[in-house]
Amino acid sequence: MNNQLILKAARGEKVDRTPVWIMRQAGRILPEYRGLRKKVKDFKELVKTPELACEVTLQPVEILGVDAAIIFSDILVIPEAMGLPYEMKEQFGPFFEKTIATQSDIDNLRIASEEDLSYVTDAIKLVKSALNGKVPLIGFAGAPWTVLSYMIEGQGSKTFSTARKFLYTKPELSHQLLEKITESTINYLKAQIEAGADMLQLFDSWAGILSPDQYREFGIPYIEKICSSLGEDTPMIVFAKGANFALKELSALNCDVIGIDWNMEIANVRAQVPNKTLQGNLDPALLYSDTAKVAAATTSMLNTFGPDRHIANLGHGVYPDTPLDSVKAFINTVKEHRFE
Ligand code: CP3
C-alpha cells in the first residue's frame, strides 16, 4: 500500500501529516457522479452494479485526492438483505413499503449472510484491484440502532419518534431486532474484510437522539458486539453522531477510532477519550464559506487536534450542494499543513 497514512493514524502511529477523507464523499457533490447517475434507472442500480459502484468509489480519490476511498453503497442494504427491501425515492430519500412493528415481523426477518450482499463484496474486489494500493479502502455499515430506526420508521424523520416509542414500549422486541441486525452486520463486515476492505466505519447517525440511558441499553452493547467480533487486523471507526453524553462508553469500545461531530469540543473529547484516534470534525455547513475562511477554519481545527491520533474529516456527511472549491480547499489545507 503506497499511502498508509490513515491506517497508521488509526493505530496511533506517527504520521508525516494528518490524513483526510470526507464522509459521503462518493456521491452527489461530484458532477461526475451526477452524470453517471442520470444514465441509470435509480440509485439502487448504481449500488447493485459492481462496475458502476466501483467507478463512483474511485471518483473522489482521483478528483479530490483524498487519503482513502469508501465503498459506494448504503447502510440500508442490511434491512434489504434481511427481507425488508427499501426504495430510494427521488427528492424524498429512503422509503420502506413494509416496516417492523410486531413479533411476527421480526420472526420473518432472516439473518443476512455474505451471499445476500455479494454485489457489495464484488464491488470491493473491483475497487481494490483498480486502486492497486494507491490508498486504503474503507468498508462500512450502519450501527444497529440507526438501522433499526429506519426499519421501524420506514423513512427518514426529524424526530424518529416511532422508533424511540418502540424502544420504550417494546424493549423486548427492540432487543430481538437489534440482535438480528447485529448478527447480519457482523456477517456483512466480515465479508467486506475478506473481500479486501482495509478499514471499517460504523455510522450511528441517530445516536444523539436517544437519552443516555437508552443509548447505553440499545446502542453501545450492539456496537461493542460488532467491534469485538471482527478481530484486531482491520481498524474500526465508530461514528456516533451527537453522542457527547456517551464519550466514556465510546472510549471503552473495542475500536481504534471515534468519529466526532462539530458540536463536540475537541479538547473535551481528547480528555474523555485519551486512548483512541479521533476523526472529524469540521461543520459541513462551514464549507459554504469562501475558500479563505475554509482554509483558516481547517488550520485551526488541525492545530486543536494536534499532530497525533487525528484523521481529518467533516463532523457529518458533506451536503450535496456544497461548492467543490470549498471541498478542495478543505482537503488541500489538510494535506499542506505541517506541524512545527
Ligand atoms: O460515503 C460515501 O460517499 C459512500 C456512500 C454512502 C451513501 N450512503 C450513498 C448514498 C454512505 C456511507 C451512506 C451512508 C448512509 N446512508 C447513512 C449514514 C451516514 C449519514 O449521512 O448519516 C444514512 C443515514 C443513510 C441513509 C440514506 N441514504 C439517506 C437518509 C439518504 C437520502 C438523503 C441523502 O443523504 O442523500 C440516502 C441516499 C444516498 N445514499 C445517496 C447516496 C449517494 C443519494 C442518492 C442519490 O444519488 O440521489
For the segment 133-151, the average pLDDT, to the nearest whole number, is: 98
Which one from 11, 16, 17, 28 is the annotated catalytic residue? 28
The pLDDT value given to residue 340: 79
- Is the pLDDT reported for residue 66 higher than 90? yes
Q: Which atom of ligand 1 is nearest to the CA of 27?
A: 43
The verdict on whether 164 is a catalytic residue reads no
Share the mean pLDDT of the chain.
97
CB atoms within 10 A of CB 176: 15
The verdict on whether 288 is a catalytic residue reads no
The residue whose CA is least distant from atom 8 of ligand 1 is: 74
Q: Which atom of ligand 1 is nearest to the CA of 60?
A: 3
- Is the pLDDT reported for residue 1 higher than 90? no
Q: State yes or no: cis peptide before 263, omega within 30 of 0.
A: no
Domain that holds residue 24: 5-336
What pTM did the predictor assign? 0.97
- 48 pLDDT tier (thresholds 50, 70, 90): very high
- Give distance in angstroms: CA of 315 to centre of ligand 1: 15
268 to each of 238, 247, 248, 273, how far by Cα in Å? 18, 10, 11, 9
Question: DSSP letters along 15-65, please?
Answer: -SS--B--TT-SSTT-HHHHHHHHTSS-HHHHHH-HHHHHHHHHHHHHHH-
The verdict on whether 37 is a catalytic residue reads yes
The residue whose CA is least distant from atom 38 of ligand 1 is: 93
For the segment 227-245, the average pLDDT, to the nearest whole number, is: 97
The pLDDT value given to residue 92: 96
- Give distance in angstroms: CA of 24 to centre of ligand 1: 7
The gap between the terminal CA atoms of the chain, to the nearest Å, is: 27
Q: How many domains does the chain have?
A: 1
Which CATH number covers residue 124?
Answer: 3.20.20.210
- Give distance in angstroms: CA of 74 to centre of ligand 1: 6
Q: Which atom of ligand 1 is nearest to the CA of 201?
A: 12
Q: Which of 173, 200, 174 is nearest to 189 (CA)?
A: 200
The pLDDT value given to residue 63: 97
Distance CA 140, CA 188 (A): 9
- 58 pLDDT tier (thresholds 50, 70, 90): very high
Which one from 67, 86, 116, 150 is the annotated catalytic residue? 150
DSSP 8-state class, residue 219: I
Q: Which atom of ligand 1 is nearest to the CA of 317?
A: 21
Question: Which residues contact ligand 1 via a Cβ below 6 A?
Answer: 23-28, 37, 43, 70, 72-76, 88, 93-94, 140, 156, 203, 205, 317
Contact 169, 204 (CB under 8 A): no
**At 120, is the secondary structure helix, strand, or coil?**
helix
Kindly report, residue by residue over 182-222, the tens digit of the pLDDT. Answer: 999 999 999 999 999 999 999 999 999 999 999 999 999 99
In percent, the amount of the chain with pLDDT more than 90 equals: 99
For the segment 258-284, the average pLDDT, to the nearest whole number, is: 97
- Give distance in angstroms: CA of 149 to centre of ligand 1: 15
